[in-house]
Amino acid sequence: MDHYAGYIFDLDGTIYLGDHAIEGAVETIHHLQSKGKKLLFLTNKTIESRENYVKKLHKFGVKISMEQMLNPALVTIRYLQNHYPGQKVYVIGEPILKEEFLENGISFADTPEETGVVVISWDRDFHYNHLDFAYQAIKRGAEAIATHPDRTCPMPGGDVPDCGGMIGAIEGTTGKKVTMIMGKPSVMTALTALEILQVEAKDCLMTGDRLETDIRMGAEAGMSTALVLTGITSEADVASAEFKPTYVLPSVHAIVKQGCSSQ
């Protein structure tokens, strides 16, 4: 399975679990790097910076650059720059996300009246004032977009509410659906990933542990897909899945080692 030109990897559940690399993952990345393959790493989380993810991978012995790390913040920034240049934005999100926006020239709105776009993301300090500001802005014609659709996020002590909770509150109040969601399985993330890698979808393998995000995104974009069983999905889940993976792997190591089954 090392014949593809480009490889996109989910992180948690695929390359590592918590603070430990999955057995064979580092060796797999090193093998692909030695063959000159184009690699990209992808997460849906917005509460950590891309820089921190790169540092974490470096600790495991996976040496990559910032350009090889993609998250919804970067996809959203590119979308705003391309589709809403000069518009003022109201961001529901944590400080690290807002810092990335400011560093990339996104201007923040101070009032609902001047808001062109409401960006909804995971915010563990989400409160009524956020909801009211977003409601007033959208009522006045502001567009609403979201960084990612995840309803919950797995944590060491159990899963917690994610961006889906913020989206639900705002959609429930305004009666309007968000117009675009950036993170997996959105086509926006797939297109951004392929643009960074400079490969065609048919020449790319998307690998992850979630059928509803990783595999769906890859399949809808026209990529080959590999489901790893080291995360939240079991092989039994594949039978009822809407989007079937091209390969089912015991772990990411099977990309360069025998032990996978085609679907």
Q: Please tell me what DSSP assigns to residue 157.
A: T
The pair of three-digit structure tokens given for residue 149, joined into one six-digit string: 């659709």
pLDDT in the model for residue 152: 86
- Kindly tell me if the per-residue pLDDT of 63 is higher than 70: yes
Q: What is the pTM of this model?
A: 0.87
Q: Is 90 exceeded by the pLDDT of residue 155?
A: no
Query: Confidence class of residue 262 from pLDDT cuts 50, 70 and 90?
Result: low
Residue 53: what are its φ and ψ, rounded to 5°? Answer: -65, -40
Confidence tier at 158 by pLDDT (50, 70, 90): confident
Residue pLDDT, tens place only, 171-199? 999 999 999 999 999 999 999 999 999 99
* Whole-angstrom distance, CA of residue 47 vs CA of residue 44: 9
Q: How many residues does the chain have?
A: 263
- Rg of the chain taking only CA atoms, in angstroms: 19
Mean pLDDT of 69-88: 96
What pLDDT does residue 259 have? 45
Instruction: Give the contacts of 252 (CB within 8 A, at least 6 positions apart).
Output: 9, 14, 15, 22, 24, 25, 28, 207, 226, 228, 230
Instruction: Name residue, tokens 């003022």.
Output: 88
Kindly tell me if the per-residue pLDDT of 156 is higher than 70: no
175 dihedral zone (left: phi>0; alpha: psi -120 to 50; beta)? left
CB atoms within 10 A of CB 157: 6
**CA-to-CA separations, 13 to 40, 54, 86, in angstroms, rounded:** 16, 16, 38
